[in-house]
Amino acid sequence: MTTSAQASSLRHPPSFGVRLHQAMRAHGPLCAGVDPHRGLMQAWGLDYTVAGLERFAMTCAEAFAGRVAAVKPQSAFFEVFGSAGVAVLERLVADLRAAGTLVILDVKRGDIGTTMDAYAEAFLGKDAPEPPDAITLSPYLGYGSLRPAIDLAHATGRGVFVLALTSNPEGADVQHAVLHGQSVAGHVVAGATADNADAVARGELGSVGLVVGATVGDAVDRLGLDLAGMGGPFLAPGVGAQGGTVESLRRVFGTALPHVLAASSREVLSAGPSVAALATRAQDTAAALAEALAS
């Protein structure tokens, strides 16, 4: 016998925002990156080949599945091995999701029209080959151009993280530019805020997240961004080896801090290739983040 709430959830699976919120409460606000770049694979004693890539990916799957809120594979490091590398990525996504661990695939796609439709179908559609729980999107063609992906994500219970404000010094050339009194980053924040309004009205975390660097300094204040009112999650890369600290997270996110998913790749991955050491490092990092950000 199913209750009506259960029946409803069968018809409408929980949204990405709701699932991420639950996962962050259960495991802490860490998103563990899977960034198999050449130097790291060499440090792990692996050949920089498809076989080495598969070994790296399966090690990460074993270490992270069930132990962190989310895992973020970086598509570029798989695409560099062509279709064979993409097949490894598909297996990684499948293994993590089979364990109930959320996967945010970092692909930074962005296009228009039927092409954007195809990217949406590729990663967020009900017939997608191996769909992650969310993907990253790049809005150079305007936030509005991402509509097909955002709408499909809502329909299939998945999510997106749109690039808003990044920490790299060159990012300001685009993201700080202003049109009609609003910065480009502000334009992206405004779009996400509107798309999350329904979820916020239901008292839920929205499924349209933003990428905001942990080390953007005072840019959030200078550009007048209302991060606390955005209503969705923030993916904050750069925590750990790239210089982001709990203090920089506080400074950048302020009262939006409870919605921050801190992405760490190098710091966690440097504990490999031992599965046990990786798992411990990930769990310790997640616990430390949870404690530091709550206090």
- Going by DSSP bridges, is the β-strand pair 234-236/208-212 parallel, antiparallel, or unpaired? parallel
- Sequence length of the chain is 295
CA distance 18 to 103: 14
Amino acid at the residue 118: A
Least distance in Å: CB of 92 to a copy of itself? Answer: 12
Least distance in Å: CB of 216 to a copy of itself? Answer: 12
Residues 69-88, mask of contacts with a copy of itself (x by CB under 8 A): -----x-xx-xxxxxxxxx-
Angle, to 10 degrees, between the axis of helix 275-294 and the axis of helix 246-253? 50
The reply to whether 156 sits near a copy of itself by the rule CB under 8 A is: no
The reply to whether 144 sits near a copy of itself by the rule CB under 8 A is: yes
Residue 108 among the catalytic residues: yes
DSSP assignments along 160-215, one per residue? EEEEEE-SSGGGHHHHT-EETTEEHHHHHHHHHHHHHHHHHHTTS--SEEEEE-TT
The reply to whether 142 sits near a copy of itself by the rule CB under 8 A is: yes
The reply to whether 44 sits near a copy of itself by the rule CB under 8 A is: no
**Are residues 58 and 273 in contact, defined by beta-carbon separation less than 8 angstroms?**
no
The reply to whether 14 sits near a copy of itself by the rule CB under 8 A is: no
CA distance 29 to 241: 17
- Going by DSSP bridges, is the β-strand pair 134-137/159-165 parallel, antiparallel, or unpaired? parallel
Comparing CB distances to a copy of itself, the nearer of 90 and 204 is 90
The reply to whether 270 sits near a copy of itself by the rule CB under 8 A is: no
Q: How many residues bind a copy of itself (CB under 8 A)?
A: 61
Comparing CB distances to a copy of itself, the nearer of 40 and 279 is 40
Q: Which stretch binds a copy of itself (CB under 8 A): 64-72, 117-125, 196-204, 224-232?
A: 117-125
User: Tokens in use for 161?
Assistant: 């993280």
The reply to whether 254 sits near a copy of itself by the rule CB under 8 A is: no
Residues binding a copy of itself (CB under 8 A):
35, 37, 39, 74, 76-77, 79-87, 89-90, 106, 108-119, 121-122, 125, 128-130, 138-145, 163, 166, 168-179, 183-184, 187
